[in-house]
Structure 1
Amino acid sequence: MTRESKRIYGWALYDWANSAYATTVMAGFFPLFFKAFYSADTDATLSTAQLGVANAVSSIIVVLLAPLLGAIADAGGIRKRFLLLFAFLGILMSAALALVGKGQWELAAFVYVLGNIGFMGSNIFYDAFLPSVTSEDRFDKVSGLGYALGYLGGGILFALNVAMVQQPEWFGLADAAAGVKASFISVALWWMLFALPFVLWVKEKRNTRKIGTVTLTVLGYRRLMRTFHKIKHLRGLFLFLVAYWFYIDGVDTIIRMAVDYGMAIGFEAGDLIKALLLVQFIGFPATILVAKLAQMWDTKKAIYLTLGFYVLIAIMAAFMHDVSSFYLLAAMIALVQGGIQAMSRSYYSKMIPAEYAAEFFGFYNFLGKFATVLGPLLIGAVALATESSRAGIASVAVFFVIGAVLLYMVDEKAVAEEVRGAMR
């Protein structure tokens, strides 16, 4: 295996490693276990609010820290150190969830917030390594590989975890609750094990000058302010970020809408878990396919393809009535969810200087974490105006149309030249 191949696979396998947390903990078991175990004696509505606050707090903390930490990491050449620091936090907190007792919802929420910060924080620096591990002509392929391996790795461990919960006796576990706790520990071990290729194979050019912590923080802050001032005047890059905000808001709203719809129709928790597994295993080949299409055409056309698919999904979701249509919707989402995320990351990487990657991805993730703000508001407003919740759901298609129109005005090559000239 060549040195570049090691860098690429070491980088991509980190997605395989930490996607286990996103799938098993964030999307799979923690929300259900929080209601049934950690806040067992709490009103269901209140426990939903508690979980919502935990998710919001972790996102806000990462949003506020991301651009500054990115600037500090770029200034000091310590992106890898920051990634591993956040990864260690996520790994530790995932294992710690197994130690939280029944009814201790405050402690569970605290540990979960720290785990989310570790997961989301490490992803900022992970994304920022893409321009360093391969050449620009391979961004689409490598970015797609990362997301695809994330779906496969997260899906494999989640399938094992589902078996641990549904058939705990097969694994020598006392009951389903013990299966969930063992699953949280398995996520920590999986994340730690499969992060090793990144640690060993992905190198970073360090700053040879020794800079103190205070000095480095000041340098990072100044660098951030300089970039923020410039990014406001970089029309093309700003247009892409606004386009990304609109369509990612739509993507996240569709995902949450599907789950809410499933619960409203009366699906069992098992139905939702099956749908999640379906997304994982369809998402693996589908993301690779979208990346190949991007290489055959270009990245922007591949993003347009996924946006058109999401318009169709939003319209079809308005007519969803039963379990079979819910599974069909989950399969359709799986076809494009990884692709739109991977190609957006690749497209953005082509426009930013590699030496400022963590800083620029701080802004990118800043917008990503603020997604799903406008979508629910639009759904509510349209539903009230038309007295039809289905019309509200279909209205999400507007976000994909707006995103596509704004994206049309972006020329990545011209933007890349503009950005590099401004950052000199």
Structure 2
Amino acid sequence: MDALEIMTNLHLVAPFYQAVFSADEHKVVGYEVLGRIKYEDEYKSLGPFFHDEAIPEEYRIEVDDLLLHMALDHFITLDKQPYIFMNRDANLLMIDHGESLLNLLLKYQDKGLILNKVVIELTEHNFIGDLERLNHLITYYRTYGIKIAVDNIGKESSNFDRIGLLNPDILKIDLKELLKTTTGQAYHDVLYSISLLARKIGATLLYEDVETLFQLQYAWKNGGRYYQGYFLHKPSSELVCDEVMKEKLKEETLHFIQHEKKKLFSVYDLSEQLNIKLQGLVQKYKKVDNYNELITYLSQNLGELSFRLYVCDDYGFQQSANIIKEEEKWSLKEEYYMKNWSWRPYFLENIVRMKYNKKGILSDLYSDVESGENIRTFSYPLNEKDYLFIDIPYEFLFEHDGLL
């Protein structure tokens, strides 16, 4: 149906509701309101209508408001109001500086709508206006208890500085990309960065487009408090029972926990093994004064456990060359001597941890700057001021269950 057909058949327009589930209660906590229109005995999405900028603004605003009226009429009759997520085009919202939407919500507040249950979803990267003015509007909305979600993060390019300025309550991350066979490590790194941003600005993560168990596990593992998608429940013209997925989500979460605990035990087991191994090797070569000699000896004893070793002091200055395995042969790279690594994430924190605990620690999984592969690093205190760093290759991690 084209825009004119939709506008002349508004009686066929209806709101559909997609349930939003919580990770802490495994229950439905809210619904996203989606636009549908009945066409040839089935309901079609109005998404293309709302996203088509060639359609007059007043048409899109009118249909948006119609859907919202119908949804709110239903929500105010409920004994316990869930969160209501409503999509709004930020460019259309700013035409009247958000006044019409706020007035609509205030009218429904008089009828019983709880404003702190209202979540306005905005797509930040589509906004072409003055971001400061949008931010002022959002701040004004918040004085009424209204929450703000930034939508479609991960689907298209989003600017972290813009998101940080808007300081949303919820970040919605699209997970469709996970299903593509071409999805690379860079995508996972971006999502990880988003999760760190959310933590820094105090935002809650909502993962959308969850269509498989794998995506649900990914969302759980990566800090998702809320989930929605076809795997959990498809959009419907009716609201669903709050506990429709409670047992299923609890069961799957227990599996996720067991799997993650197994991986953590594998990491701690390797860390303990390396501490024992290094304690013996360092004692064996304790009379070696030259760190280049020490890492040369150690490299011959570590086998497949490492592809790079070096020594730094507690200020991050490298006290040895790098010794690197290339085509099964070890070679010293003197140019790394006295380079400083204190700027690297967690470097100083790990140094302090080793000083207090008097033992080595195994890093989390990360992408190596030089090789681009996922690796881990084992750090080990040689004495009160110098520390050995052993980079463990992807091949070793892959061959040992739970280390990736």
Task: Please report the TM-score for the alignment, with normalisation by the length of structure 2.
Answer: 0.21
Larger Rg: 2
Give 1 or 2: higher strand fraction. Answer: 2
Higher RCO (C-alpha 8 Å, min separation 6): 1
Greater percentage in helix: 1
TM-score by length of 1: 0.20
